[in-house]
C-alpha cells in the first residue's frame, strides 16, 4: 500500500492512520477518498488490528473538502461528489472495529464530517470544529446534516450549521460532540492508550457492542432490545464464559486477541 496522502502505522493490535497533506490543512480531495477506500478494504480483508486511530498532520485534522475540486462541478458532478463522501464515511462507520478520531486542530466541513463518522472523538484543547458550508452558499454534503443532529440534538445542529460558526474544543466537549480533551502534545498518546485498552478487551464483545449501539440507535426500542438479548446470549459460547471464569479465578482472560 503506497499512499500519497495517508500514512498508516501499526502498534501491536492498534492501527494509526495520519492524514498527511499539511500544506492544504489536510483538505479532503479525490485522492484522499480513493486511498481511504483502499485502506478500509485492507482492514476488512486482512483484519490487521482491533482498533483504529485517525488523526491529521500539522495544524489540522482536516479543514474541509478541497474547494478547488468542487468549484468546477455542475449539479450532477456535485451529487456524485457528495455520494462518494457519504458512502466512504459510511464504510468507515460500518467497520466492525472501533475507530477513534484524534482531532489535533481544525476539523471543519468535511473534516468535521470525517470525525463524526468515527466512533469516539478525542480532541486537543486547540481543536476547532464547524460546518461552515452556508458561508459558501452550500450545505454539508458528507452526512453532516444527519450525524451532527444525532450526536448533539436537533437544536444544537441547527444552531451550528445554520450560523456557519465554529466552536472550540471545550464547547465541543460540553455539547457531547467530543468525549475527552487532551493537551496537544499528549493527544496521540492518550488516543493510543484508549485504543490499547479497548484492544485488550474481549474482541467479539467489543465488536458486538459497537454493532448493537450503531444499529440500535435507529431501531424500534423493543426490536433493539431483542437484538441485544440474542447477541448477549451468543457470547456465552466462548468469550463470555472465559471472561467470567477468569474473573472468578482472579486471573487475566485468555482471549484470542490477548494470546
The residues annotated with a catalytic role in the active site are 113, 133
**166-168 β-sheet, strand order:** 60-62, 106-108, 128-130, 166-168
Q: Which helix H or strand E contains 183, and what residues bound it? A: none
- Judge whether 157 and 72 are in contact, CB under 8 Å: no
Q: What angle do CA 153, 156, 161 make, to 5 degrees?
A: 115
- Judge whether 25 and 52 are in contact, CB under 8 Å: no
Q: How many CB atoms lie within 10 A of CB 61?
A: 30
Nearest to 101 by CA among 46, 41, 60: 60
Amino acid at each position: 500500500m503506497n499512499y500519497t496522502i495517508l500514512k498508516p502505522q501499526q502498534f501491536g493490535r492498534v492501527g494509526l492512520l495520519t492524514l498527511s497533506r499539511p500544506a492544504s490543512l489536510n483538505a479532503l480531495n479525490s485522492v484522499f477518498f480513493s486511498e481511504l477506500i483502499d485502506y478500509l478494504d485492507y482492514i476488512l480483508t486482512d483484519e490487521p488490528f482491533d482498533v483504529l486511530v485517525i488523526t491529521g498532520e500539522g495544524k489540522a485534522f482536516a479543514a474541509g473538502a478541497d474547494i478547488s475540486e468542487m468549484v468546477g462541478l455542475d449539479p450532477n458532478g456535485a451529487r456524485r461528489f457528495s455520494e462518494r463522501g457519504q458512502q466512504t464515511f459510511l464504510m468507515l462507520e460500518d467497520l466492525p472495529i472501533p475507530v477513534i478520531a484524534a482531532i489535533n486542530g481544525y476539523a471543519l466541513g468535511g473534516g468535521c464530517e470525517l470525525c463524526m463518522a468515527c466512533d469516539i472523538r478525542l480532541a486537543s484543547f486547540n481543536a476547532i470544529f464547524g460546518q461552515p458550508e452556508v458561508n459558501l452558499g452550500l450545505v454539508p454534503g458528507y452526512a453532516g446534516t444527519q450525524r451532527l443532529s444525532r450526536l448533539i440534538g436537533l437544536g444544537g445542529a441547527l444552531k451550528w450549521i445554520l450560523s456557519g460558526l465554529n466552536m472550540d474544543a471545550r464547547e465541543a466537549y460540553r455539547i457531547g460532540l467530543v468525549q475527552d480533551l487532551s493537551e496537544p502534545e499528549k493527544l496521540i498518546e492518550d488516543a493510543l492508550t484508549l485504543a490499547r485498552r479497548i484492544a485488550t478487551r474481549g474482541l467479539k464483545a467489543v465488536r458486538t457492542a459497537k454493532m448493537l449501539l450503531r444499529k440500535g440507535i435507529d431501531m424500534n426500542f423493543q426490536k433493539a432490545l431483542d437484538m441485544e438479548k440474542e447477541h448477549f446470549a451468543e457470547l456465552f459460547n466462548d468469550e463470555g464464559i472465559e471472561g467470567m471464569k477468569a474473573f472468578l479465578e482472579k486471573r487475566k482472560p485468555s482471549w484470542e486477541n490477548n494470546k
